Structure 1
Amino acid sequence: MTVFNDNEAQNDEKLATHDDTADTLIGWINSRRSMGNLDTPAPTRAQIVEAIECAATAPDHKKLRPWRFIVTEGEARHELGRALVEAAQAQAQQEGEVLSEKNIKKTQSMPLRAPLIITVVTKMQAHKKVPPFEQMLSAGAAVQNLILALKAQGFSTVWRTGLLCNEPAVKAYFDVGPDDYVTAFVYTGTSPKKEATRKPIDIEPLVRFEP
């Protein structure tokens, strides 16, 4: 007769719980979709802080924290819209063109597609062991953590950048230096639409195993 002690039973229970949690987490990550044209409710300040705390756990060589977060909501979205228009006008002028009234209005209204935007910018640090590309990748990892944390709180997001995000007028608006970058506009809120089921991704051509 096989006899199980209490420690063995507890270990089996922990393993089963761990497997269930892992399956749930993996399924939840695989279900994430970008959702545009978001509405209220948006995260509260406490929820935003919690999500940014998760973002700050991103892999970060030498703990340089080469990223910053700017939260834009309410009337401030109109100010961001004006900065985007200024950037678009400067870009058009460089190309010998004039921005049409239609494009001005479209650009001005871009930040209004969500009740809240979390902008992630880099804050590169000079370090002999951490090149800029590592710091940029860390910023991208922070964005992904942020998006997943917001999803866990029940909110939808879409990661936007675009041709204007690193134009001088936009960098100046966010106080981003010439050697730094606006890496993400994380539009955040509640989607009126249900997230569509993601089709399975064939990873075979993306992976190489080296035994």
Structure 2
Amino acid sequence: MAVTDEQVINWIKSRRSIGNLTIPAPKPAQLQAAIECAMSAPDHKKLTPWRFSVVQGQARHAMGRALLEAAQAKAERDGEVLDERTQDKTLKMPLRAPMIITVTTRMRYHEKVPPFEQLLSAGAAVQNLILALQAQGYSSVWRTGPLANEPAVKRYFNVSAEDYICAFVYVGSSHCAMPTRNEIDISDYVSYLSE
């Protein structure tokens, strides 16, 4: 059955972030398809300036420990102490979904492709990933937060100092009703230049 342009546009506009996620997570073939879609993002000079790390199962606990280490280091720098509740919450952050796809940059020098363009390409890859997951029936939420690019988290994901963790894409299934979006008014966000 053919899908109309209007159906595709309305489907994209229906995308929502859903934070309460459970099993099942994408199967390996579904995950591969979603990452292939992510890698079709605009990529000037074909630098492939992004990488994907899939965290699931017990590895989510190790990610939680990296986040806690980062939170403790940040608190120490700020002259603060993490209370027990905050420590526990931080440790359990990765348990909010059965799978987390972490998207990081792997920037390369190119005289025609500045770093900001490579970072934007990584963002486009994240959006493609989220839409591809949605197309396969999964819900997701794009998270980062103040700990994402702390040294302990970068070490865990083997990200260099000059690169970025752009997204923790929490993915899984959701049985909650998808909220509807109000009509989108673009008038305050678009200008038209013509002669």
Range of TM-score over shorter length = over 0.9
Which residue matches 1:169? 152
CA distance in 1, matches of 2:175, 2:56: 19
Q: TM-score by structure 2 length?
A: 0.97
- Give 2:10's aligned residue: 27
| Greater per-residue helix proportion | 1
CA distance in 2, matches of 1:64, 1:162: 27
Look up the SS of the partner of 2:188 in the other structure.
helix
Q: Residue 106 of structure 1: CA displacement?
A: 0.2
Q: Does 1:50 align with 2:18?
A: no
Structure having the higher Rg: 1
Q: 1:99 aligns with which of 82, 92, 95?
A: 82
- Displacement of 1:173 in angstroms is 0.3
Show CA shifts across 1:49-95 (max 9, x none): 10000000000000000000000000000000000000000000001
The alpha carbon displacement at 1:133 in A equals 0.3
Correspondence for 1:90: 73
Counterpart AA for 2:50: W
Does 1:130 find its partner at 2:126? no
How far has the Cα of 1:98 moved from its partner?
Answer: 1.2
What is the Cα-based RMSD across aligned positions, in Å? 0.8
1:36 partnered with 2:15: no
Once residues 169 and 192 of structure 1 are traced to their aligned partners in structure 2, the CA distance between those partners, rounded to angstroms, is 34
Q: Structure 2: which amino acid aligns with 1:39?
A: T
Long gaps (5+) in structure 2:
none
Partner AA of 1:58 in structure 2: A
Is 2:166 aligned against 1:183? yes
How many equivalent pairs are there?
193
Q: How far does the alpha carbon of each residue in 1:125-179 deviate from its partner, in whole angstroms, 9 at most, with x for none?
A: 0111110000000000000000000000000000000000000000000000000
Q: Counterpart of 1:99 in 2: which secondary structure?
A: coil
Per the normalisation by structure 1, the TM-score is 0.90
Partner of 1:72: 55
The Cα shift of 1:192 comes to: 2.3
SS class of match (1:85)? helix
Paired residue type of 1:75: Q
Aligned match of 1:146: 129
